[in-house]
Structure formats: C-alpha cells, structure tokens
Amino acid sequence: MATVFGEIVKTISDYAIPVIILVIICYGVFKKISLYEAFVDGAKGGFEVAIKIIPFLVAILVAIGMFRASGAMAYLISAISPLTDLVGLPAEALPVALMRPLSGSGSLGLVTEIMKTHGPDSFIGRLVSTMYGSTETTFYVLAVYFGSVGIKKTRHAVPAGLLADAAGLIGALLICKLVF
C-alpha cells in the first residue's frame, strides 16, 4: 500500500512543475497576454519590493542569529523533546520545526546539516524535507512584508500563520509515517 502511494506521489511530483508552466503559457496565449512583458513587469515590481524590505530583513536575521547564538533554541528543544517523542517526532527534527517559522535560510541550513548526518533517504531526512516544504516562514513574512507597508497590528495573522505551520508539521509527520 505504502509503495503504491509512494509511486503515485513520485509520479505527480515529477510532472507537477512542467504541467504548471505549460498551463500558464497556454493560458497566456489563449488570453492573448504578452507573457514576456508581463514577466518583466512582475520582475520590476519584485525588485521594488526587495528594496523596501531590506531594513526589515536585516532586523529579523539579527534577531534569529541572537536566538540561536544565545542557546535559547537548544534549551527549548531539550524542554519539549519528551513531548514530541510521544508522537514519534524525532528530537533531531525539532530545530527545523522551531526555526522554520522564523527563517527560511536558517531552517534550510538545519535541513542541510541533517542531510549530511543522516542522509536524504533516511526517515529523518525525508521528514525534515517535508516539514520544510509544508510550512512557512511566518514571523519572517510578517516582519518583512507587514513592516514594509507600515502595518503595525497584525491582528489574526500571527495565530493563523502559526496554526497553518502546526498543521503543516503534523501533516508532514503523518504523511512521512504513512509513505516512508
């Protein structure tokens, strides 16, 4: 059962991106949209946003560096690992689960370390990869994008983002236990 499901997932993942690109191109041709001009306009808008977010990006990256360097992450992991062991979440995956809402590059570094240690085809390697792809850099997005447009009160964005991250982590663990 798990191998059939795994083969279906592999087949879908092999064709997903090429099909999406083909659909976008076909839609643009069908609607008579100048795809190159639309692409260039989008790139120009992206560059303008990048310039606006640089101060907020620097601030969040410094805060994340301080969090890791202070040892607070290691303390937090040792405190919650007995609970996560009960549901089958390995302690090695906890740093990725905790870092992902804060920083994409920080969590990618942790995923890379786990890949070097355990290998990409190990359960833990597949789990952290799935966790990385199933969650968002919630605090990073809120700090950078809300800050760049001057939004001070995030209202329900933080709880909604963290709830989505929790759902992604739980889903990643369940799917990995089912498929691998």
Rounded to 5, what percent of the chain is helix, strand, coil?
A: 85, 0, 15
pLDDT (tens digit per residue) in 163-175: 999 999 999 999 9
CB contact at 8 A, 136 and 161: yes
pLDDT (tens digit per residue) in 52-107: 778 877 887 788 778 878 988 888 888 988 988 898 899 889 989 988 998 888 88
Residue ranges covered by each domain of the chain? 50-179
**Per the confidence metrics, is the pTM higher than 0.85?**
no
- Written as six digits, the tokens of 133 are 């792809």
| Nearest to 132, CA basis, from 175, 97, 176 | 97
pLDDT (tens digit per residue) in 122-133: 999 999 999 999
Amino acid identity, position 170 = I
CB contact at 8 A, 145 and 53: yes
